Amino acid sequence: MPAQPTQDTPQRQGTALRQQLTELRGADLAARPLDARALAALAANPGCRRRALLDGAGVDKTALAESLGSPSGFGQSQFAFMRGNAFEARVKADGGAELLRLTHGRLGGGPEPVPGEAAVPDLSAAGPEGRAARTALALRDATASGGWTLLDHPMLALDVAGTPAFLEPDAVVVHPDGGWTVVEIKSFPMIDGSADAAKVGGAARQSAVYALALEQVAERMDPAPRVRHHVLLVCPKDFSNLPSASAVDVRKQLSVTRRQLARLTRVEDIAAELPPGTTFDVRRPAAELTAAVESVPATYAPECLAACELAFHCRERAREEGEVTSLGRSIRGDLGGLTSIGEVLAAARGTAGDPDDPAVAALRRAAGLRQEALSGVGASGGASR
């Protein structure tokens, strides 16, 4: 009897993809885990296939940038890291009594917590998959208990472009009413009840990723608990080391992140288009790594400088190619079908471009106004002499 053809099961396909990504990274190199900060940056630039693949494969982009000869100063100083850890430890001291008091004061959700009576379950387990399963079980038990529960550094899983990302928020609080709240602890100060808007925005985008992962856990429960759309941001009060908190509405960030992550091209589709033998092993020669990186399309924008370790490398290539994205996403959107700086200049000079195109018409009008202004300056300068 002839052998029946077999179809790849999703489990077999997932195993093959993980093996391929391991080979792309370097078989003996540990994967760089995706964190919420990286996912927020990825969601802000969903068209960048390069970042999606490198992050999916767990490539250390800091080491890769150094190997390419374009090191980035991206990252946190050791002093700031130590200060942040010390502040977080203070916030969570005594079984999280102060943290739960701040949570109740800003978000309610039940009677005032009694110090020493809140549950703080042990979330330790083998590997990220085990910790994520242990977290899901702890969330289920805490919701059923009807009391205050603090989950310290839980592990959450989120599917990103076909690959699992394991995320570790600072804390998750389960309220007596069954609601779940993401807690984000930062070391930047909250002065007179408010903090730097840019830093709060970054924390909100990061927290939205955690909330999205929590929603996926909640969806597997019946009835599904409510994941609160207000996260608790805890920062030092004024210039002290005392904690202060604010409830931050992340509904907008949740909506944007959910939509942008859904737009990401699946990692296996990107990997399937790579030339045979491609590797991002950071120990390979610079020329080989450059060819590998350039084989994956990137979508550079100036905003990448604050969010991606490869930004300097991608900026240099974008400038060499004359890509209008190097001028900023807003300008890129205004230019419509004009994708290179050469096309933009030709359209402005009137040597190329459809005159009925609004972008082309605006460029020619701007070029004419500029020429008039320069002519006026020259005439006035000649008259004064």
Residue 149 β-bridge partners? 119, 174
Return d(Cα 201, Cα 150) in angstroms, integer. Answer: 25
For residue 114, the SS3 value is coil
Q: Name the nearest CA neighbour of 260 among 193, 310, 209, 199.
A: 209
What pLDDT was estimated at residue 177? 95
Residue 380 has pLDDT above 80, yes or no: no
Listed in sequence order, the residues at least 6 apart from 372 whose beta carbon sits closer than 8 Å to its beta carbon are none
CA 361-363-365 angle, 5° bins: 70
Q: How far apart are CA 17 and CA 99, in angstroms?
A: 41
Summary mean pLDDT of the chain: 87
pLDDT at 117: 93
The number of residues making up the chain comes to 385
Which pTM was predicted?
0.75
pLDDT of residue 112: 94
Q: Are 299 and 325 in contact (CB under 8 A)?
A: yes
3-state secondary structure of 119: strand
- When mean pLDDT is compared across 18-22, 45-49, 266-270, 381-385, the lowest value belongs to 381-385
238 neighbors 195 (Cβ within 8 angstroms): no
Least confident interval from 17-31, 91-105, 196-210, 289-303: 17-31
Give the H or E element holding residue 159. strand 156-160
Of 5-14, 51-60, 321-330, 332-341, where does mean pLDDT reach its minimum?
5-14
Asked if residues 121 and 152 have their Cβ atoms less than 8 Å apart, the reply is no
| Share above pLDDT 70 across residues of the chain, in percent, rounded to a whole number | 91
